[in-house]
């Protein structure tokens, strides 16, 4: 069984993640090391390493492994980084960030998802995180005054909002996927100084929307 899991994990890295231009060794090693199957419900175990969005409760889903990995590479996560994740989900991306960085604050709309994610994280001995329950699809006011080196938004939003930009440190990076199916694009926003932000469109992809954001598509640059 372990050999089968190891083979499936290796195939995920070599056949899905690497071909998506993910070459950062820290990211690749994180996906080799963390047991993704521990974050997947029993009925979906056969999909733990598949190139698909794995269903969660409330109509939510885990991201494609290749999108998770590409996001982490684009965010250039460093060992001393303070991270904010919007959309805890299963906790797998939380685990990746916590493995690569100093600390993660992660926010989800649903208490039951957050509670299960906490169990998943503790099951793989990850403890450098705090989980919060809040509606943060268009900004988060928790931990007022705290700024982050990395902000990862794990579901798409229909229009870009600058609400998260002020939570970035100078040099901090924000990743978000913007648009509606079938046209979405990944964006990386870097804070260059107190008032200047570099906003880049990286590539096209499609993922599930962040819960609640479909009804709030009214923000502008």
Q: Give the domain CATH number at 82.
A: 3.40.50.150
pLDDT(216) > 80: no
Residue 40 domain flag: no
Asked whether the whole model's pTM tops 0.75, one would answer yes
Residue 9 domain flag: no
Range of the domain at 194: 66-216
Domain count for the chain: 1
19-70, pLDDT tens digit by residue? 999 999 999 999 999 999 999 999 999 999 999 999 999 999 999 999 999 9
Task: Output the pLDDT for position 22.
Answer: 97
Residue 156 domain flag: yes
Q: How confident is the model at residue 5 (pLDDT cuts 50, 70, 90)?
A: confident
Q: What secondary structure, in 3-state letters, does the chain show?
A: CHHHHHHHHHHHHHHHHHHHCCCCHHHHHHHHHCCHHHHCCHHHHHHCCCCCCCECHHHCECCCHHHHHHHHHHHCCCCCCEEEEECCCCCHHHHHHHHHCCEEEEEECCHHHHHHHHHHHHHCCCCCEEEEECCCECECCCCCCCCEEEEEECCEECCCCHHHHHHEEEEEEEEEEEEECCEEEEEEEEECCCCCEEEEEEEECCCCECCCHHHHCCCCC
């Amino acid at each position: 069984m372990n050999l089968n899991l190891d083979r499936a994990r290796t195939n995920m890295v070599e056949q899905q993640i690497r071909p998506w231009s993910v070459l950062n060794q820290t990211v690749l090693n994180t996906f080799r090391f963390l047991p993704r199957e521990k974050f997947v419900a029993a009925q979906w175990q056969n999909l733990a390493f598949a190139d698909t969005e794995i269903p969660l409760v409330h109509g939510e889903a885990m991201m494609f492994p290749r999108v998770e990995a590409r996001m982490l590479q684009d965010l250039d996560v460093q060992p001393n980084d303070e991270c904010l994740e919007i959309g805890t989900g299963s906790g797998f991306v939380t685990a990746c960030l916590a493995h690569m960085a100093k600390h993660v604050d992660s926010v989800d709309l649903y208490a039951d998802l957050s509670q299960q994610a906490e169990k998943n994280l503790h099951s793989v001995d990850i403890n450098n995180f705090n989980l919060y329950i809040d509606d943060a699809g268009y900004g988060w006011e928790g931990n007022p005054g705290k700024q982050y080196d990395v902000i990862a938004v794990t579901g798409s939003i229909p229009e870009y909002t600058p609400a998260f930009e002020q939570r970035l440190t100078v040099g901090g990076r924000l990743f978000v996927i913007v648009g509606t199916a079938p046209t979405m694009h990944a964006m990386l926003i870097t804070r260059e100084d107190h008032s200047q932000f570099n906003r880049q469109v990286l590539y096209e992809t499609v993922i599930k929307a962040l819960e609640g954001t479909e009804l709030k598509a009214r923000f502008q640059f």
